[in-house]
Chain A
Amino acid sequence: MHPSLDAVGVTFRFAGADAPALDDVSLRVDPGEYVALLGPNGAGKTTLIGMVTGLRVPDRGTVRVCGGDPTSARTRLRLGAVLQDTAFPRHLTVRELVEGAAVRSGVPRGRAAGVLEEVGLDDLARRRSGKLSGGQRRRLQLARALVADPALLVLDEPTEGLDAAARRDFWRNLTARRDAGMAVLLTTHIVEEAGAVADRVSVIAGGRVVADESPASLTGRLADRTVSVRTALPAAVVRDLPGVLRVEETAGRLVVVTTSPEAVVRRVLHDDPTAHDLRVEAASLEEAVMAATDRMSA
């Protein structure tokens, strides 16, 4: 069976740009796998999605969707996409736009109703797209991408404009689709939420892949821990301990970033028996992504 997405050595330079927007990027997504594509603004995420959806053609390298060429209409029957910046024809209604996507993909228009319910637009089915809010437009895009039950779902910032409750439902629906066998590639700047359910995160920065692994393995690579404790001790007490990277002293609290939290905890509790409200936290995925990005630019 083909991978749902197989990009190999993709390189692309915009006309007139000094540096390539994508430099030897490889990325694979298998059926039933959800990969989060993360990275700072301008990293090349949307450009890569342009290659995956057949909007752009790589200068070098290859992109295959379910074994086919994404620039062919036939391959695109298996692809559902939410692009980053799009508007709809404003006089068409929500239902018409979703039914239209179904018909054009060769599935019965009757499927629209179920998908509209799934994304929470069933009450707005008769509204014209020009009268939707930003978050509602996002859901409409998602409904159109899902209606033909594609093998590969590609989402460029699908969470933009969604409120917290809508995002929670979005992640839940996405996982359900993934568990039913759909392959999903998505970009977002809401790193923690994306990572919570992702099988893999692929981090790109400056047009290169700087990490491609499970979220747990990516955060696990960061040995940094943050020790935070309420104490009257001055920062100087821990600053010279082995492994300490940074110390902040704020309103009766010490916040220490260190690779050996045990030494810090031992010293603080020894010097100040009244120290309390002690917390030791692992690095967040967001920090791990930033660290991976920094390693590359360093």
Chain B
Amino acid sequence: MFTSVLDRRIGGIIDRAFGGTAGQPSGGMARLGSSLSSPLPVDAFLRLVDPLWSSTTCRARVEHVQRETPDAVTIVLRPGRGWGRHRPGQWVALGVDIDGVRHRRPYSITSVPGAAGGRVSLTVQEVPGGAVSPFLVRRLEVGDIVHLDQPQGSFTLDHGDPQGLTGESPAAVPTLFVTGGSGITPVVGIIRSLTAGTVAEAGTTDRPSTIGVTSAGSPPLDAEPPPLDAVLLHHATSEERSLFTAELRAAALAHPGLRFELVITGSGPVPSELALTPERLDTLCPDWRDREIWTCGPEPLTAALQRAAAGCTRGLHFEEFQAAPRAVGVDVVSGRVRFARSGIEVQSDGTVPLLQLAEDAGLAPRHGCRMGICHTCVVPVTSGATVDLRDGHVRRDPGDFVQICVSAPCGDLEIDL
């Protein structure tokens, strides 16, 4: 407690001295600081005092790792300076060093904005054989330092309009959430903020109270809970592996406007009587056509919903955790790829995304989601063609910016990396 107060004091002083919080330092002191530390950024030295200090990227300390299911954990992070407030439903690219190598993967934020102590939580489900999630679930330790980008994504009830200028309070819109597996994470973040203050008060959650309870900027604890009209239809392979079950049941008890329905599908193919069809939606949520539908989960689930919910009148929103399988009919042309800035040349078989090729060659291109949604990774192509692995679209214009995470070279290529 004391140290964190002290931290904030010192942080405040440093902020004032070096001009503001996130982003580029400004002001005379900042210029002096960076002249003194040149050629390194001031951060390099401030970090000797506070390892979370960074003015360019955001670093965070792992404060708590809580097991949710046999193969999922919630990671509670305390971000250092430079973390921008997120909107419920958004995700962040998390960077971790595994065996000395930096990996970044997107994870949805499950905590409410402005949680106590500025903490941020992510919930990670292990993908067996994966490079990152098994590490996060099994090996991450309290005290580890990780890297965060800024929160991103438009899977938010405010439709990317944080000021709420559309008039209608997001909570008041009748909503249906359809989730599967770890796809519940952005939705839990949304529901926690819709019900903020009341769930943790109910005392039925086993989560550290820092996650559910809000501080400044969120509805005060004693305020009337906003009107709420939401149905959550969650699919999990087993009760044991289902995330947040106890908390969501408790939230549904505490909120007449929230209904939580858990569907256990068993492992293996989904039984036909549980498959998402208009009839099944009619049974589970008769007024689904009048609800705004938000879905996040494995591709078969979101695809089934897309087919089933064609009659929805208020809009259907998706979040996918995994790049869609390579589109059939994509041109596969092998060739040489030259990374112009580094002069490195590699062979491409025409199926591996440029981001992967660059990383395998030891480069570290900027990127976020790795699945073509955030556009953090765009780089101009100097010469040659690329193919978008999602839809087979071939681009040939020199100077065209391509998303290297979902684009493979189509023959010989030179790119400004």
Is chain B found bound to chain A in the same assembly?
no
